[in-house]
Structure 1
Amino acid sequence: MQIYKVGGAVRDRLLGKTVADTDWVVVGATADEMLSQGFRPVGADFPVFLHPKTGEEYALARTERKSGPGYGGFIFHADPEVSLEEDLIRRDLTINAIAEDAQGRLTDPYHGQEDLKARILRHVSPAFAEDPLRVLRVARFAARYASDGFTIAPETMTLMQQLSESGELEALTPERSWKEISRALMENQPQVFIQVLRECGALKVLFPEVDALFGVPQPAAHHPEIDTGQHVLSVLEQAAIHHQPLSVRWACLLHDLGKGLTPESEWTRHIAHEHTGLRLIKAVNARFKVPRDCQELAMLVGQYHTHGHRALELKASTLFELMQSFDIYRRPQRFEEFIAGCEMDARGRLGFEQRDYPQAEYLRGAANAARAVAVQPLRDQGYEGPELGEALKQERLKAVQAYKATYSA
């Protein structure tokens, strides 16, 4: 039995980065031998085991053969006779196909170290084209390492384009796709993920609603970058710069989908795009079975982001109804994330990246004014049941009106 450290742990150490997780491959062992040493099996699909003390994953060296469409369409063969090189060749990128033994010696049969130095993301073998998930994975790695100067090898991009045209992407499960998408959006340059998907043709397959935004113009006075697709990329970039959570980044990606539905004859006005885009946002949410918090915020930001931008101009009653829509009393964090989404949208414009966004402070202040209204004095006045609810609503509206008057003064 020989044990090697593999994948991201080796790659990131060689890049001088912090190693988050460590994966291991075991050569020359059987499942029974692993079990006898206290390792715990993980599922039934792969010969993967958890270390009895560290909980790290140890996988038996294996080969794989394409047997059907999609990410899961493979037959795996784990055997003590499978060599380390045979295990490494089934991996996606050369930089992920380097192994390290206990003495720190590297096994690098596919020249991953050379590609690390050259800052190239390159596939290991032609078998890369058998797994459609690798399109998303490479785009995610491009987003992670773009700031280090990494680019995708032309021959790898060609395989990604072939995969995108093959129909294989449609075979990916929503759950597996979302896992890659959500991880990619949390990388330090998530806009690169979208750019790569577009370059290889995968964006029009996975996100046709986002792909449709490229080439759609916006008013130059408000959007010097003009192109709606480029604007969305900039908004995503700002969300990463400002360390926004996944829910905000997802909302940023989808907030302007309605502009893709504007007839050319009505460019660049995009009247009511906030409402026309809601059915598209709902469709994308359903396609990837997106978690509920991300779904809800994307819908709310899509519908109300222009309200956020115009917050200082809104009537007190409109501002109050906006906050009611977010249930700011029981779900304050959701309104805070809405404000963040609006601010990223405002900053995601050419030349506006550093501009102040006073609407954020104003919206927070209005929400705090409404929340500050106490219930007990109304109860003391004899209000109860539905009448109490209505009285509370009116008092909160008065508080927002007073806040607006004070702020304006």
Structure 2
Amino acid sequence: MANILTGDAIASLFFDVAALLKRYEAYWRLHPMGIKTLPWQPALNAQLSSLTLAELSALDQSPQLQAACFRHFFPALFELPFFWHADSAAPPVTWPFWLSNGIAGRKLEQIQQFCQFLPVGDLPILEWCAGKGHLGRLLAAAGTQSVTSIEWQPALCQDGEQLATRFGLQQRFVQADVLSPAGQAVLTPAQQVVALHACGELHLALLRSASQIGCQQLHVSPCCYHLISHDTYVPLSRIAQASDLALTRQELKLAVQGQVTAGERIARLREIEVSWRLAYDALRAHISGEPAYQPLPSLPKHWFSGAFTDFIQFAAAQQHLVLPTDIDFESYHQQGQQAYLRLQQLDAVRHLFRRPLELYLVLDRALFLQQQGYEVCVRAFCDYELTPRNLCLHATLATKASIKAC
């Protein structure tokens, strides 16, 4: 399937994705905590019940295994282009080790892949939400354009300025909140704006402000769609605004739940935490007679490295629950493990819709830019295995040259 979208194909895919999400919303809108039995058709329930925890974990990180396991139940879902892989039109940009020293390996690979699709030109570059300015620093070293990196944390700006000075690069830092008037003031029409994994409201502000000002080129890889200022998602494009697919912040979070980097230790700690929380809730429900799931607040991780009984007593104290003296802790521990398995079974289905949700959100952004007079390209800038947030928007004002990167 194609890994690049342009023109009318963007709206066409948006309609397909919106219709699919609406058709299957009973599966991905499900709130899994507290559900006691698998709620779907017998054949799907049986398929899920046959999977071990190890198989469910492998399934969650492999689009290929998901397709093999669930295509029969959701055929329309697997007809969509998911942009799992980048089209490598050119070899990734590389830099001398001394210039890229200090950039974590996976992050460096992402920058290398992102840069291979940026057009060659002489437009000044603005790096949005820059951190230490790694992306901007490498772009400044690779070309002749000046780079402005905007970041709100003073310490990161200082570190970035020191690195730019050490290597003699045309990179300056602006310490400002991109949501503030001072942050918006760095945007100008004759500019190429780059943003690699800018979170929620930060990349939304960029798209709105840059398109209003008329920035010539935008290259944006969105991230963390749920970090927004409203409880529900406010679509950008007229087409999405006309859709009846209202999304809550919690549902936006589903779009970014995929991980490809979590190690075995982290996965094991998460399993312990979730199963212990579920075990405690089973005990709470039995004592209080209130079956509805009641989440505990965020707790220090050390509680999940000690004794299960200590955690139960601490959790009860947080909810002012008086514990009886004859608790069968082992029984509740087993109930928690069973509930965790059921949660993984439910999530195996819910997580099939992470990518369609992300596509819906990215395509809404692309449609918005088209409305503002931009020629837009949507593509995967790297493979999903490098980062699940591998989608990128390339946009140029239609009165300017077409986007060479696409």
The interval holding the TM-score normalised by the smaller chain is: under 0.3
Indicate the structure with greater helix content: 1
After TM superposition, the score normalised by the length of structure 2 is: 0.25
TM-score, L = length of structure 1: 0.25
Q: If you compute each CA radius of gyration, which structure gives the higher value, 1 or 2?
A: 1
